[in-house]
Structure 1
């Protein structure tokens, strides 16, 4: 039964090959300290037993609805769930992550501040870092400030550590409509642009999984880099709040994504096969370096790293690859209980 004294919050989860993570995820949803929830689990044609797991929980909790659909990708699955959402507010969760008990309660408290249409946190738990921030700090941001926070990014980049006003989203016609990966960055940026005011807290309330071998982030794929480049260029072109602050943030992110693409080319050993793209990434890393050093709002320590990365892009990419390889080995060792 809907509780009329508490606003209804819709939770949309796009699910694909998430069977072994769903018990933890769905349990964390139904055990939220805030009870008035509209939970929509979208089985995006998953070939495993994800759909059956979702159905089992829906049979036990009236707040859960399950949508079974042919596979159409993350954007399509999220859009289908959002179309069916009944809540005044919306959150979006990845199918392999999980939530702190006060996830909804915390974001709802922030979004109910005067004039606020979107709330978010500036940090999350990961499977490599499970320590809570010692102090919470809440600030209200203008849309311009929030866009910069998201694009640099000074906060986690996905759509899942955020809460949105459904009215604000609908009035602006915002959907997951990008043709490229990085749909979360586009969605969050457009939502912040439409919000007018965004509340940002410092408490960690979302657990982001780094050890899912089926996740796109755990497989090196050059197309993820080129897609990310197209996406941030599209975001820049789509901005209606076009100020030096937002444009400089986009230009920094474009520069960063040339480095990311270079990293992926090296990680996949495709330097010869993709020689033109490889050279283009190096050229843009160096050509764009003076502009982003001068105009970006990155801190001095970060700019020192940017200088080294821009002057020696291949060496820096190889350094990042070594560090990421070591981190993944530690993840695997922890997963196997140190064996």
Structure 2
């Protein structure tokens, strides 16, 4: 035991500069990731508004309340609906656009790539506020265009109608993050060797045959990773929903992150303990997606090595 300990200590001492340079990262990771997780678990067992010093330990009562809270399950259903609708559309449409923009003979391809990626680097809160004006039923450009074209007889309250608000938010979310998924596909396309296409053309394969029998099969391992990355990104829709609808109207856009924020901070009587419990449960849902992602990456690596 002593030899093992001395051997480990000597290896750490030999690599001391490595650990020294890693120390700032470890401190920041501990302060902004590990500690918030631990404190959230602690706060989730308290009856506390987050302001006063009076804190009552109530154990798992917040979790029992969460499991019986219909609004929590509604918000989780809305979040999963957003994932189920936008992720397939984003992945599929971005693949089609990536196949077009990956053509080296396409003029202005770099310009189109940049234009599609610009919304992804724009602050989401600003986009949410601007979109509120764009979809405004009283003088917003979208309604004005629809009226001028004769498509509608009266303005549509895109963000004030429960029947259209969620679809509007999902559309803006897709447009905002479309460039990220596009970059994933473009990076995946760059991994396909040009010699494979040359061999296919030598065998008499045309563009459609090369796409069907070369490109798509070689992109298949990346599909799992891109879908899961896009799904995890889609769960983080808090700032867009908050600035566009604040979860309304009538809870029609109440994503889980917005509901957690409302319970913990925005209500007339904040409930930080209950909000922390909701956050822990939502974090477990995110961990499920992360675990699926890890399995998907392993599958993708195995598929690539076999091909």
**Fold equivalence (TM over 0.5):** no
TM-score, scaled to structure 2: 0.28
Q: Which has the larger radius of gyration?
A: 2
Relative contact order higher in (CA < 8 Å, ≥ 6 apart): 2
More strand by share: 1
More helix by share: 2
